[in-house]
Amino acid sequence: MSDRLPKVEIFFLLILSAVLIFVIPILNSAVPTDHPFYISNYLVNLLGQYFCLAIVAVSLDFLWGYTGLLSLGQMLFFSLGGYAFGMHLMLMIGRLGQYKSDLPDFMVFLGYNKLPDFWVPFYSFWFAAAAALWVPGLLAFLFGWLAFRSRIRGVYFSILTQALTYAACLLFFRNELSMGGNNGFTDFKFILGKPINSPDTQRALYVASALSLILTYLLLRTLTLTKFGKVQRAIRDSENRVLFSGYAAANYKLFAFTLAAVISGLAGALYVPQVGIINPSQMEPSRSLEAVVWVAVGGRGTLYGPVIGAVGVNALRSWATISLPAYWPILLGSLFILVVLFAPRGIAGFLEFLAGKVLTASRPILPNTQIFTNSSLPKTSSPNPSGQESQKT
């Protein structure tokens, strides 16, 4: 396997990057609203949210599809990144809240007289942005170190990550944590001094989300082509053989798990200012299960498949929750069952199958080529050992 990206893949990435980062923002900002090619502010905001969720799906595929670690707590790290950046956004509201206080509204409602000490550093934008990365990364490192050191793998690892997510969800629901309780953070006003709900700000957040998705894909795709990626897939296929070969499989898994958590935290930090709210429901175990569906539908072990799955499933969700709100969970479950039974490689596998068919059909057949079989070969008489012709009797 080559350690470089194929030229065809680079070509498609360049085209996709140009469309997502340049063409769509131009169609939103420079085209008249009555033009057929105009893209609305609502659609730009919605695409930005989809791309953030696609980043989570790619990070999960890096774990599940390449390392064999099915994490059922990926949305926990996503939410921690969102909470870390949301703390900064809450402090930027200032006296524009409902209670006209320097404290966030939920703190005034709960009777706080001063800002908790651990909130103070989050006045800094850069500290909050860094915390959105190192907080989920630190939690993943500590949890992974304990789990992999104990050689926990398979379904037991999945159950533990789900239990961690559920415990964190219950913790964030408590008002004593000073993180907004069940209401969480909302009613954001400014980011870097700009109105957060203005079209220009939302467009910039969209570009940041699209760029982050492309860079995340390139980073993880490059890793899978290196020696690390080969060991990673070997761990997925047979961890015992990797251990017998002298590799420290636990270290490889710990690195992959921590990196995936950091990437999910980045996605959460970009998601919160676009959706306008973050609360504990975002880290419920069901949300992490939805992320698994995105990867399965798109095709695990491909990195680009989960992007298709995340955008497609969430677009379906946006339509179904309006048109068929009572049947959305049934649609999601049915979709997952159908993919597992009839398309285990997902949408990406189906696309690769079609591409293989097209390439096979387009190969030219060499002229004047004959295929000989045993029956079509000319018959030759076997030599007579005595040197004389055989005679009929």
The domain locations on the chain are 7-361
- Diameter of the chain measured on Cα atoms: 123
Give the whole-number percent of the chain exceeding pLDDT 90. 75
* The pLDDT of residue 358: 77
Average pLDDT, stretch 81-109?
A: 94
- Mean pLDDT in the chain? 89
Kindly tell me the burial class for residue 204, based on how many C-beta atoms sit within 10 Å of its own C-beta (0-12, 13-18, 19 or more).
Answer: middle
Overall size of the chain counted in residues: 393
- Burial code of 13-47, b = ≥16 C-beta within 10 A, e = fewer? beebbeebbeebbebbeeeeeeeeeebebeebbbb
Find all residues with CB under 8 Å of 186, minimum gap 6, and list them. 276, 277, 278, 279
Phi, psi values for residue 194, rounded to 5°: -105, 145
Give the Cα separation of 259 and 141 in Å (integer).
Answer: 9
pTM of this prediction? Answer: 0.89
3-state secondary structure 76-91: HHHHHHHHHHHHHHHH
- Burial code of 72-111, b = ≥16 C-beta within 10 A, e = fewer? bbbbbbbbbbbbbbbbbbbbbbeeebeeeeebbbbbbeee
Average pLDDT, stretch 75-85?
A: 97
Give the Cα separation of 342 and 338 in Å (integer).
Answer: 6
Q: What is the pLDDT of residues 242-295, one digit of tens each?
A: 999 999 999 999 999 999 999 999 999 999 999 999 999 999 999 999 999 999
Nearest alpha carbon to residue 14 among 214, 221, 205, 225: 214
- Burial code of 178-190, b = ≥16 C-beta within 10 A, e = fewer? bbbbeebbbebeb
Contact 60, 295 (CB under 8 A): yes
CB-facing half-sphere around the CA of 46: CA atoms within 13 A? 13
Q: Which two tokens stand for residue 284?
A: 């419920």
Element at 145 (helix H, strand E): helix 125-149
Q: Which two tokens stand for residue 211?
A: 């760029």
pLDDT(32) > 80: yes
pLDDT(321) > 90: no
Q: Which two tokens stand for residue 153?
A: 């793998």
* The pLDDT of residue 359: 72
Confidence bin at 1 (pLDDT 50/70/90): low
CB-facing half-sphere around the CA of 175: CA atoms within 13 A? 8
Residue bearing tokens 């993919």: 339
